[in-house]
């Protein structure tokens, strides 16, 4: 499952950041910002129109990102 599929307000653990094509600068930047395997993230809220952008918290920091950016972040499967 990827980050955009996470329900609003829920936590999850990052499994990996997936590269879209070679030298994906967005993927690298996401990793630099702390989206690395094992980190807990939370989908704080979504934008008011069209459910975009997503507001994602990692550590103490909140980032706004569009769905295409967030889709690079794969999450560990959650226990139901």
Residues that bind other proteins (CB under 8 A): 25-26, 28-34, 36, 44-45, 47-50, 52-53, 55, 57, 59-66, 68-69
Nearer to other proteins, 7 or 80 (CB): 7
Q: Which CB, 10 or 29, lies closer to other proteins?
A: 29
Distance (Å, rounded) from C-alpha 48 to C-alpha 40? 24
Which of 19, 52, 53, 13 is closest to 34 using CA atoms? Answer: 13
Q: How far is the CB of 44 from other proteins (least distance, A)?
A: 7
């Amino acid at each position: 499952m990827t980050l955009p599929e996470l329900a609003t307000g829920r936590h999850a653990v990052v499994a990996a950041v997936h590269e879209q094509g070679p030298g994906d600068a967005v993927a690298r930047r996401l990793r630099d910002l702390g989206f690395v395997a094992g980190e807990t993230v939370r989908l704080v809220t979504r934008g008011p129109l069209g459910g975009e952008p997503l507001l994602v918290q990692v550590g103490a920091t909140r980032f706004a990102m569009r769905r295409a950016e967030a889709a690079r972040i794969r999450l560990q499967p959650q226990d139901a």
